Amino acid sequence: MATSVRGPHELEEEHHNKRMSFVKTHAMRLRDNVRCKNLWQETSGALGDLGTFIPILLALAYVNGVDLGTTLLFTGVYNIATGLLFGVPMPVQPMKSIAAVAIAEGPDRLTVPQIMAAGLSTGAVLTFLGLSGLMTLVNKIVPLPVVRGIQLSQGISFGITAVKYMLSNQDFKNNKSKGDRIWGGSDGRFLALAACIFVILCTGPGGGRQCGCSAQESEVKSRQSQDRLRNSAQDNGDVNDVESLDNKPQEEPRRKWIIPAGIVVFVVGVVLAIVRDPKTLGALSLGPSALKVVSISKHDWKVGFVRAAIPQIPLSVLNSVIAVCKLSNDLFPEKVVTPLSVSTSVGMMNLVGCWFGAMPVCHGAGGLAGQYKFGARNGLAPLLLGAAKLVLSLLLGSSLLRLLASFPIGLLGAMLLFSGVELAIACRDQNSNEDAFIMIVCTVVSLSKASAAIGFATGMGVFILLKLRELPTEYPKWIQSVRNLTKKSRV
């Protein structure tokens, strides 16, 4: 058969069609990642991570001079990008270990260049781990009970911090509590308690999707259970029971509150912030913050890496990558989130923004759980939050600092509490004694030493020891022969 030779115009048209097909496919994927299913629900979920974002940002702005407007600008871009690319409510959170070192009491607090050096160093390490494939290897090696232990410790830690916010006045400048909070007033205990009651009524116990079990699997299991009951009734000759099962009407779904709890709590907080300090409106000024490249000296690189990046890297690997991937794939099994993509995402965010003085950020399992708790179900939630941050940063810049400083801390505590609980509930799939033992040991050590790295090392050690116990108890043949020779020599 003679083969037809295509001309240059046909080849060019074929390449053009392939390019258009590629662009169309990715455009459809991006559209599906942010498809609007319930706008109010996604908007409410977008605010579910503010319990950690606002307090740490305020502390870094007040104590260390990190620019609020610049941070809002870059984190807004990050939120939009992660929402489009991941298709899940992937949060953008502060790097907590770097923030804790930066705002620690004493004359040796980190400067802005040192904080940025720590963020750049951590970002470079995570980018290397992601692109080299080492992060994927670590994700495969780390056992699930150890990951759950890190999640559980983080959830409990969030809960403890949230209760402190609700019960005690907070001095973010010095990173400590300063006396009991009064019951009444615009930021009293009654307000925090009312917010907790409201969130429970609106969102229920939470817990998301049962880990490792999709909605379809749950429906299949329910149908199988119904069939087993019917077969059992038939075997026992209980005709009436069989008829009652066949004719039993389907239970009507319970009526659920559809009020977006996150939006209501945030709006109430903004109103109370203005009431508490009416001068905040007059302090607002139009215009964004001026972008400036941060000058980092050799000394700043050394201090930032040794004091802040070294303790942050293990936490980022465990909680910002491995735990996030596991939790995301539990909640959204139809959206595969890989360690390579998450690790590279965290690294690139900091390799870009920290040069301009934006707060070092990461993804976090607690933020993902918090946004899911308050209603976020796809990438639309972070996209909406990112758009709001961009608008505020371009319109008001750093003048928002005073308004955020007046926001009732008790309401932030209420939102943070349920974020922590949602994260901890994800650990309920550790049902065997061995898995639960490893998880709890990892959790206790992480909380007592306040270090996820030490808890992780302990959990891995316990896991290895338990596996050693499963080895055969009989001595290998060569050891047994040596023992026999030793006995004969003694005789």
List the one residue out of 428, 433, 431 whose CA is nearest residue 152: 428
pLDDT band at 32, cuts 50/70/90? confident
User: How many whole angstroms separate alpha carbon 243 and alpha carbon 233?
Assistant: 10
Which tokens hold the place of 261? 């709890």
Neighbours of 191 (CB within 10 A): 22
- pLDDT tens readout for residues 227-243: 555 555 555 555 454 44
Backbone angles phi, psi at 165, to 5 degrees: -60, -40
Q: What is the pLDDT of residue 322?
A: 93
Q: What is the pLDDT of residue 451?
A: 72
Average pLDDT estimate for 103-130? 89
pLDDT band at 220, cuts 50/70/90? very low
Rounded to two decimals, the pTM is 0.79
pLDDT band at 163, cuts 50/70/90? very high
- pLDDT tens readout for residues 388-423: 999 999 999 999 988 888 899 999 999 999 888 998
Lowest mean pLDDT among 4-18, 259-273, 372-386: 4-18
List the one residue out of 285, 337, 256 whose CA is nearest residue 82: 337
Is the distance from CB of 121 to CB of 408 less than 8 angstroms?
no
- pLDDT tens readout for residues 167-185: 998 877 666 788 889 998 8
485 or 29, greater pLDDT: 29
User: How many whole angstroms separate alpha carbon 100 and alpha carbon 56?
Assistant: 9
- pLDDT tens readout for residues 130-150: 999 999 999 999 999 999 998
Q: What is the pLDDT of residue 283?
A: 85
User: How many whole angstroms separate alpha carbon 335 and alpha carbon 34?
Assistant: 12
Question: What is the distance of C-alpha 471 from the center of its chain?
Answer: 37
- pLDDT tens readout for residues 397-406: 999 988 888 8
User: How many whole angstroms separate alpha carbon 423 and alpha carbon 211?
Assistant: 12
Mean pLDDT over the full length of the chain: 83
Q: What is the pLDDT of residue 3?
A: 53
User: How many whole angstroms separate alpha carbon 116 and alpha carbon 349?
Assistant: 12
pLDDT band at 453, cuts 50/70/90? confident
Is the distance from CB of 102 to CB of 110 less than 8 angstroms?
yes
- pLDDT tens readout for residues 125-135: 999 999 999 99
Which tokens hold the place of 164? 């402190």
- pLDDT tens readout for residues 64-105: 899 999 999 999 999 999 999 999 999 999 998 899 888 875
- Angle at CA 466, nearest 5°, toward 463 and 469? 155
Is the distance from CB of 276 to CB of 92 less than 8 angstroms?
no
| 360 residue type, one letter | P
Query: Coil, strand or helix: which one is 179?
Result: strand
Percent share of the chain, pLDDT over 90 = 44
Query: Coil, strand or helix: which one is 170?
Result: strand
Residue carrying structure tokens 């390490």? 125
Domain boundaries, the chain: 29-206+258-431
pLDDT band at 481, cuts 50/70/90? low
Residue carrying structure tokens 């033992």? 437
pLDDT band at 20, cuts 50/70/90? low
Cα–Cα distances (Å) from 418 to 50, 166, 211, 232, 255, in that order, read 12, 13, 18, 42, 22
User: How many whole angstroms separate alpha carbon 429 and alpha carbon 318?
Assistant: 19
Q: What is the pLDDT of residue 101?
A: 85
